[in-house]
Amino acid sequence: MRLPRPHRVDLLIAACGLACGLLLWGFGIVMKNDALVEGRWAVLVPLLVMTATETVRRTLPRTALAVGTLAVVANEFTHGSVATILMFTDVVYAAVVYGPPASARRIPYSTGLITVGITIGFLVWWQNAVALLIGVASGIVCFLPALTGAVVRNHRQAAEAARLRAEQTALLAEMDRSQAVVAERARMARELHDMVANHLSAIAIHSTAALSLDDAATTRQALTVIRENSVEGLAEMRRLIGLLRDSSGDAEPAAAPTLAGLDALLAQARTNGESSGLTFTLDDVRDADGPALPAPVELAAYRIVQESLTNALKHAPAGPVAVTLARDEQTLRVLVTSPFGDRPGPRAPGSGAGLVGMRERVALLGGEFEAGPVTTADGRKIWQVRAELPAKERTSDG
């Protein structure tokens, strides 16, 4: 098995420890005069073994601690080297900091028990205060480095956890920002389509009629309608662009259209659809004295009617277009019917964005939406748009 490559910092520590140990050995500085193993050379054996453990203190921390423990015990049978003891304290510290979590938890408790055991043993054996000094020295050599390593490791883990939380928070914030941007772009697209599509559709239909019919009166009427719709469309565009360009947030928000403006909306539709043979009626069976609708519901209902009328002007053949509003305590119902079939004469192209926008508006409010051809009781086919919107503001509880 290939051994891991030692870290360069560990090699530097080992080199410094070995140099200090050799310097002390060269000057004959030892820890005690009497030893079980006589001979000056004996001090170098634990020193060299401890130096080797220092080189793998980070890559093999548990192995370094086991071998280092044997080396420091062997050092007690010689005249002893302070450098060997100091390097052992570093090996204990490294075993807690760089070792696996289980070792990091057990080593401080184990060294603490060893320190207490040594102190009690020498007290029983010698029965004097010198035993306490031996216990303190043992704690400094093994327990204190292990405790220091545990504190450092806990701080590193706390810092890493805080960094991960910060990254997760930043990622969630970026996701929220992206979702907000997407939602705002979709809202802007719906508003732009609903505000301008009606005017542009009328301009396209009447300009085509003016070009295809060689009649001065018809051409003049078409140009009049084109001018009115272009002026109104430009006004809507300027208002929307002004709101988008204003970054100070001080601009007054424009009043959102409400169902009270349906009469004016149908009057405009009658003007635009007169040349196509379309008639428009409004049947509002709501209770005039009933509670007011939430502003988002009124805006959604108005836009649904507006888009339905625009689609009728673009695609419906001659016939009646009926708008019906009904409300009970819980629901506002919007129903728009128009003729269905092939339309003669000029038609404005459609992209389907209007139906998507209506469906999105109803879904955001938690309502129901249907649009498509249906067959009436007398066998006629009509195009029907039906929406059911909540008549009350939704709360967080449901």
Element (H, E) at 369: strand 368-375
pLDDT class of 251 with cuts at 50, 70, 90: very low
Q: Which of 86-95, 213-222, 364-373 has the lowest mean pLDDT?
A: 213-222
Percent over 70 (pLDDT), the chain: 78
* DSSP result, 15-63: HHHHHHHHHHHHTT--S-S--SS-SGGGGHHHHHHHHHHHHTTTTSHHH
Report pLDDT digits (tens) over 277-328.
Answer: 889 999 988 876 678 888 888 888 988 998 888 888 888 888 899 999 998 8
* DSSP result, 127-146: -STHHHHHHHHHIIIIIHHH
Q: For residue 3, is pLDDT > 80?
A: no
* 303: nearest Cα among 358, 347, 344: 358
pLDDT class of 71 with cuts at 50, 70, 90: very high
* DSSP result, 260-326: GGHHHHHHHHHHHHGGGTEEEEEEE-S-TTSPPPPHHHHHHHHHHHHHHHHHHHHH--SEEEEEEEE
Q: Which of 70-79, 111-120, 123-132 has the lowest mean pLDDT?
A: 123-132
Q: For residue 104, is pLDDT > 70?
A: yes
| Amino acid at the residue 351 | S
- The pLDDT mean for the chain works out to 82
Per DSSP, the three-state class of 79 is: coil
pTM summary value: 0.54
Q: What's the mean pLDDT in 345-355?
A: 61
pLDDT class of 28 with cuts at 50, 70, 90: confident
pLDDT class of 158 with cuts at 50, 70, 90: very high
Q: Which of 72-86, 98-112, 144-158, 336-350 has the lowest mean pLDDT?
A: 336-350
Percent over 90 (pLDDT), the chain: 34
